[in-house]
Amino acid sequence: MSTASLPAAARHPAAGRLSALRVPPSVALSLAILALVLAWSLAPGLFTAYDPTRGIPAHKLMGPSAAHWFGTDHLGRDLYARIVHGTASSVTSALLAVGIGVLAGGLIGLVAGFLGGLVDTLLARLVDVLLAIPRFLLAIIIVTALGFDTVNTAIATGISAVAVFARVMRAEVTKTRQATFVEAAFLQGGSRWHVLWRHVLPNASRSVLALAVLQVGLSILVIAGLAFLGYGDPPPASDWGLLIATGKDYLKWPWLVYAPALVTVASVLSLNRISRWLRRTD
Amino acid sequence: MRHPYLVYAGRRLAQAVVVILLTYVFTFVVVSILPGDPVTNVLRDPQNGFSEEQIQAIVAAQGLDQPLLVQLWTALTHFLSGDFGLSMRSSRPVATLIAEVLPSTLALASAGLAVALGLAFAIAYGTQFLPGRLGSGLRALPSLFLSVPNFVIGLVLIHAFGFQLGLFRVIEPESAWATAFAAIALGIPISAQIAEVLIANLDHEARQDYAAVARSRGLSPARLFARHLLKPSSLPVVTVIALTVGELLGGSLVTEAVFGRNGVGSLVQRSAAAQDLPVLQAVVALAALIFVLVNLAADLVYPLLDPRITLAGPAARRPGKADEAPHDAPLRTVTG
């Protein structure tokens, strides 16, 4: 693929720069989709003139058209506007969840891998426990104990992701810990903190970053699942999962399910593609 | 009696017991530490209409007035003797409540696993034999399957086959057709994980010398696949299947809600809505028990299935999953 595009790239400077970064077209498309989703969550007002909460009863359950791209719902609200305005909540929840997973899981993995010995064994059992509970069930238990709202579903999703991050971080740290250059850094008189900060963390960051991107997508799915079961904010919030849950009661008007589902799938697919790309290129 | 397999099995068994016990303690601690007091929330809810004496009686019966460590000890000893306590919502034994709904969920989960396996092997077979774009298109399928929420797959199936084609009626969720489609919805995301490992392993085996030798002998691709590649490629799938058990159980919770089935998922939902923690805790313990036992079984069976595994030293680890297998190794050289 890249060899075939080389002569063309020489003619078009922009394309040349793109191929110099070695960004495959599917990754570029994924980045574009995510940029759009991010823009929706930052400034939803720029993308739609409709109010996501106020509907026109006479216009209820209209099919997709030029005026209403994704149709309207049972209260006559524009579905596209509801999706665009619900993006911020879905995206920030997923980011919050992954943030919790990276920080808590990363710390556990780092300590376990770097210190080793008894600490490692104890933390390994804790991770085993977290892995033994089905992720979705664990999230439900935690959100039940915390109370039902969207922030709590994000926290619960984050806690349920801790084990995965801990395992990957521990594996990376253990691998780097045995490398010759780490030994050399210690021999040169580097302190533990210096070696950790300068050598171990940068080497682990690549895998953890790829995992984090993948987990943003997974978290979107888990949070949508929790919202679907009604553990998030109630309507008129318009998280993607909640929109699908509302749509399931109106399956005769299938765009109410398909439109938010399409947006969810496109976002998660893009994140998976980028994560795969991050893992592959060196 | 220091046979390496027995040493390995013993260590693995002890580890499983420890994890099951720790899981119970962990859930207990999570439920107790997190804010939100089920006693005040549930028992003092005016809708339930308990008098103060009744509340005191329930609190005393559940042992909720004891210190936390005493509660944990009581709960743990009862759990070990198979007594999961009483539901706070209905005052019925938790074990009975779970026993009522477990068969439905187990049926769905095993049907889902069957769908996942069939689909995964079909996809993997296709990637090896379908020419050109079709084959590489199949390689993208697992990634797509992993990006669709499983409740959306369920809704699409209900819309297409229930509403449009009339194959099953939504008001009869336990009918054969409805169960089959629920199993498909549950199985599709799980098939993706199995297929990814299977494809990576097949690619790896197809690059080995023995495969080249077989090809040079004039073995057709189909026979090469069936006789030589399939067995070493699918052995590691045993461990992957064991790892997906958690997702099978977790996925059933959502799938049951979509298809309106009365299983563990709906019990969890009712209990979560009522903050009925004894039930939730028992379900978590049970799910963890199933997960740990299945993985224990997989780990114990694996060295017996695969003679290449040696149990001496650190080799007694889990055989490689997808992330260790080369994911994007160069295309195999096609001969013949």
**CATH number of the domain encompassing residue A244:** 1.10.3720.10
- Backbone φ/ψ region at A246: left (φ over 0), alpha (ψ -120 to 50), beta: alpha
Inter-chain touch A261–B19, beta carbons under 8 Å? no
Here the tokens at position B178 are 């409805």
In a domain, A26, yes or no: no
Which of these, B316, B320, B322, lies nearest to B303 by C-alpha position?
A: B316
Q: What is the mean pLDDT of residues A93-103?
A: 93
In a domain, A52, yes or no: no
Here the tokens at position B248 are 């099978």
Separation between Cα atoms, residue A136 and residue A144, nearest integer Å: 12
Here the tokens at position A109 are 């993995």
Based on C-alpha coordinates, what's the Rg of chain B? Answer: 24
Q: How many CB atoms lie within 10 A of CB A261?
A: 25
* Residue keyed to tokens 């740290």: A173
In a domain, A40, yes or no: no
Question: Which residues does chain A have within 8 Å of residue B159's beta carbon, measured at their own beta carbons?
Answer: 251, 254, 257
Q: Which residue of chain B comes nearest to A240, CA vs CA?
A: B149
Q: How confident is the model at residue A252 (pLDDT cuts 50, 70, 90)?
A: confident
Inter-chain touch B149–A132, beta carbons under 8 Å? no
Instruction: Answer whether A157's CB lies under 8 Å from A226's CB.
Output: yes
Instruction: Answer whether A76's CB lies under 8 Å from A54's CB.
Output: no
Tens place of pLDDT per residue across chain B (336 aa): 568 788 888 888 888 888 888 888 888 887 776 655 656 666 666 666 677 777 777 777 766 767 777 777 877 787 777 777 777 777 788 888 888 889 989 999 999 999 999 999 999 888 887 777 787 788 888 888 888 888 888 888 888 887 777 766 666 667 778 888 899 999 999 999 899 888 888 888 888 888 888 888 888 878 888 888 888 888 888 888 888 888 888 888 889 888 888 889 888 888 887 777 788 888 888 888 899 899 888 888 887 777 776 665 444 444 444 333 333 333 333 332
Closest Cα in chain A, distance from residue B145 (Å): 9
A207-244 pLDDT, tens digit each? 888 889 889 988 999 998 888 888 878 777 778 888 88
Degrees, nearest 5: CA angle B211-B216-B219 = 75
Instruction: Answer whether B109's CB lies under 8 Å from B294's CB.
Output: no
Separation between Cα atoms, residue B62 and residue B71, nearest integer Å: 9
Hey, what's the torsion of the CAs at B308, B311, B313, B317, to 10 degrees?
A: 80
So what's the pLDDT on residue B200?
87
Question: Which residues does chain A have within 8 Å of residue B258's beta carbon, measured at their own beta carbons?
Answer: 248
Of B31, B143, B288, the CB nearest to A269: B143
Instruction: Answer whether A255's CB lies under 8 Å from A60's CB.
Output: no
C-alpha to C-alpha distances, B166 to A24, A271, B152, B162, nearest whole angstrom: 43, 36, 19, 5
Check: complex ipTM more than 0.85: no
Separation between Cα atoms, residue B96 and residue B93, nearest integer Å: 5
Q: What is the mean pLDDT of residues A75-97?
A: 85
Degrees, nearest 5: CA angle B305-B308-B309 = 75
Here the tokens at position A22 are 């070695």
Inter-chain touch B246–A265, beta carbons under 8 Å? no
Whole-structure pTM value: 0.82
Helix (H, G, I), strand (E, B) or coil at A78: strand
One-letter amino acid at A137 equals: L
Separation between Cα atoms, residue B40 and residue B45, nearest integer Å: 7
Q: What is the mean pLDDT of residues A52-73?
A: 73
Instruction: Tell which of A26, A123, A141 to mutate to test the B interface (max B CBs under 10 Å).
Output: A141
Into how many domains does chain A fold?
1
Question: Which residues does chain A have within 8 Å of residue B144's beta carbon, measured at their own beta carbons?
Answer: 265, 269
- Range in A66-70, A143-147, A186-190 the model is least confident about: A66-70
Inter-chain touch B291–A132, beta carbons under 8 Å? yes
So what's the pLDDT on residue A143?
86
Contacts of A115 (CB under 8 A, 6+ apart): none
Helix (H, G, I), strand (E, B) or coil at B332: coil
Instruction: Tell which of A29, A136, A151 to mutate to test the B interface (max B CBs under 10 Å).
Output: A136
Inter-chain touch B251–A136, beta carbons under 8 Å? yes
Which of these, A269, A108, A190, A77, lies nearest to B189 by C-alpha position?
A: A269
Q: How many CB atoms lie within 10 A of CB A87?
A: 24
Of A136, A145, A257, the CB nearest to B253: A136
Q: Where in chain B is the domain with CATH 1.10.3720.10?
A: 94-307
C-alpha to C-alpha distances, B58 to A145, B53, B69, nearest whole angstrom: 20, 9, 19
Helix (H, G, I), strand (E, B) or coil at A72: strand
B169: which DSSP letter? -
Q: How many CB atoms lie within 10 A of CB A202?
A: 10
Q: Which residue of chain B comes nearest to A262, CA vs CA?
A: B148
Of B23, B30, B250, the CB nearest to A132: B23
Separation between Cα atoms, residue B241 and residue B255, nearest integer Å: 19
Question: Which residues does chain A have within 8 Å of residue B147's beta carbon, measured at their own beta carbons?
Answer: 217, 221, 265, 268-269, 272
Question: Which residues does chain A have within 8 Å of residue B163's beta carbon, measured at their own beta carbons?
Answer: 251-252
Inter-chain touch A133–B149, beta carbons under 8 Å? no
In a domain, A5, yes or no: no
Instruction: Please report the beta strands in B69-146, taking only residues with DSSP state E, as ranges in sequence order.
Output: none
So what's the pLDDT on residue A107?
92
Contacts of A31 (CB under 8 A, 6+ apart): A23, A270, A274
Q: What is the CATH number of domain B94-307?
A: 1.10.3720.10
What range defines the domain where residue A245 resides? 72-281
Here the tokens at position B186 are 């549950």
Burial class for A74, CB neighbours closer than 10 Å (0-12, 13-18, 19+): middle
So what's the pLDDT on residue B333?
30
% of chain A surpassing 90 pLDDT: 12
Contacts of B231 (CB under 8 A, 6+ apart): none
Separation between Cα atoms, residue A66 and residue B206, nearest integer Å: 52
Inter-chain touch A135–B159, beta carbons under 8 Å? no
Which of these, A82, A78, A73, A173, lies nearest to A123 by C-alpha position?
A: A173
So what's the pLDDT on residue B317?
43
Closest Cα in chain B, distance from residue A139 (Å): 10
Inter-chain touch A265–B152, beta carbons under 8 Å? yes
Inter-chain touch B284–A244, beta carbons under 8 Å? no
Q: DSSP H helical segments within chain A, as ranges?
A: 6-11, 13-20, 25-42, 79-100, 106-115, 117-132, 135-146, 150-177, 180-187, 192-195, 201-228, 240-247, 255-280
Inter-chain touch B250–A217, beta carbons under 8 Å? no
Inter-chain touch B30–A141, beta carbons under 8 Å? yes
Q: What is the mean pLDDT of residues A36-41?
A: 87
Separation between Cα atoms, residue B164 and residue A252, nearest integer Å: 9
Length of chain B: 336
Q: What is the mean pLDDT of residues A97-104?
A: 94
So what's the pLDDT on residue B110?
92
* Residue keyed to tokens 């682990």: A204
C-alpha to C-alpha distances, A238 to A51, A89, A243, A244, B147, nearest whole angstrom: 12, 8, 6, 9, 20
Contacts of A102 (CB under 8 A, 6+ apart): A165, A208, A212
Helix (H) or strand (E) holding B194: helix B176-206
Inter-chain touch B155–A248, beta carbons under 8 Å? yes
Q: DSSP H helical segments within B207-276, as ranges?
A: 209-216, 221-224, 230-234, 237-259, 264-273
